Amino acid sequence: MTIAKSVYILSASAVSPQASFQQMIAEPAVYAGERLTCIEPDYAKYIDAKLIRRMSRIIKMGMAASMECLSQASVQMPDAIVAGTAYGCLADTESFLTRMVEFDETLLSPTAFIQSTHNTVTAQIALQLKCHHYNNTYVHRGSSFEAAMLDAISLIEEGDARNVLVGAVDEIIEKSHAIIRRFGKYKKDGDSSSLFPSGTKGTMAGEGAAFFMLSPDNENRQAIARLEAMASFYKPNQPEEILIRNFLEDNNLSVADIDLVICGKNGDLENDAHYGHLQQSLFSDIPFAGYKNFSGEYPTSVAFAIWMAANILRHGIHKPGEEAPKRILIYNNYKLQYPAVYLLAAC
């Protein structure tokens, strides 16, 4: 499915393994081992101090990213709040299940259960804002954020909302990480600074929260980027080169119109071979970069890539004498089953 009508990104905020975009470009945080962990902000700036102690880590991350996004866009009340998550509130889920076993399913406190549902983050955002508008959370594994973004853009296209807060949140905890580790998905001696090309199996786990304020126009000329189009698929029966080329043609563009490609390579031998093929064939003459050495691998990591691309279009990372990118294509294929393409342009 492709969205042809443009929407503007008024602001973008992320809580990630990188402290900020400027620091990520100048001196990115480097991680060793199996995972990249979020650098958490001072939550007291965004959340009532009395509530912080009752919130799990993922809720605080989502709240901080969303509140900062609203502040940057100078929007006090969004017309809709939409989010995507694949893992949901893992820490609260673990807490509830553990207590259920320990207390033999008796005398259970409902708090952990109430906060373990996947829509807790968007619910808490709405509670803090006292927002009674449209509120939805999508849980579609590797296409969770794509579903949220499609819903957000549809709300704008149909005239049901003007300013939509959309984002993605996912965390990883010790027990979930240990379960996934058993399948050999992570490098034991990973190094984010040399994640690719590593030439070995496995990647490094990641987590994060990223939110965006979408609007149908840029009347105040404050937008940081324009989302020109997006498309998402599930186990397509066509090669990715054809999907991407058709995507560009549907938007009256060619590969030559792209200034930078940000892809979802993650350091795994098989995964990176997929992107390497695209780099050598379709994008042989286009600058090609990854982002998971900054964020780690998780189902909704493409939200981090959009945050990164929007900041590149706004601030630039070009060398003196070089022109800043005007149009960026993001291509991510989580587990090589959920290909998604995003096209961002400078305002």
Average pLDDT over residues 135-144: 96
User: pLDDT band for position 110 (50/70/90)?
Assistant: confident
CA distances from 253 to 245, 250, 328 (A): 9, 7, 12
CA-closest candidate to residue 1, choices 274, 341, 249, 241: 341
Provide the pLDDT for residue 319: 54
Rounded Cα distance, 113 and 96, in Å? 6
Q: DSSP string of 197-239?
A: T--BS-B-B--EEEEEEEES--TTS--SEEEEEEEE-SS-SS-
Q: Which two tokens stand for residue 338?
A: 């959920």
Res. 317: pLDDT tops 80: no
Res. 1: pLDDT tops 60: no
Provide the pLDDT for residue 116: 79
User: pLDDT band for position 117 (50/70/90)?
Assistant: confident
Between residues 259 and 321, the one the model is more confident about: 259
Provide the pLDDT for residue 111: 75
Q: Which two tokens stand for residue 27?
A: 């001196």
Beta carbons of 343 and 229 less than 8 angstroms apart = yes
User: pLDDT band for position 300 (50/70/90)?
Assistant: very high
Beta carbons of 266 and 201 less than 8 angstroms apart = no
Rounded Cα distance, 148 and 270, in Å? 28
Distance from chain centroid for Cα 256: 26
CA distances from 244 to 149, 238, 307 (A): 19, 10, 21
Provide the pLDDT for residue 103: 80
Residue range 148-159, pLDDT digits in tens = 999 999 999 999
Average pLDDT over residues 116-137: 94
The DSSP element (H or E) to which 15 belongs, if any, is: strand 7-15
Average pLDDT over residues 109-137: 90
Instruction: Name the residue type at position 237.
Output: N
Residue range 157-177, pLDDT digits in tens = 999 999 999 999 999 999 889
User: pLDDT band for position 320 (50/70/90)?
Assistant: low
pTM exceeds 0.85, yes or no? yes
Torsion of CA 200, 293, 256, 284, to 10 degrees: -20
Q: Which residues, including other chains, have CB under 8 Å from residue 27's CB and lie 6 or more apart? A: none
The DSSP element (H or E) to which 340 belongs, if any, is: strand 338-345
User: pLDDT band for position 107 (50/70/90)?
Assistant: confident
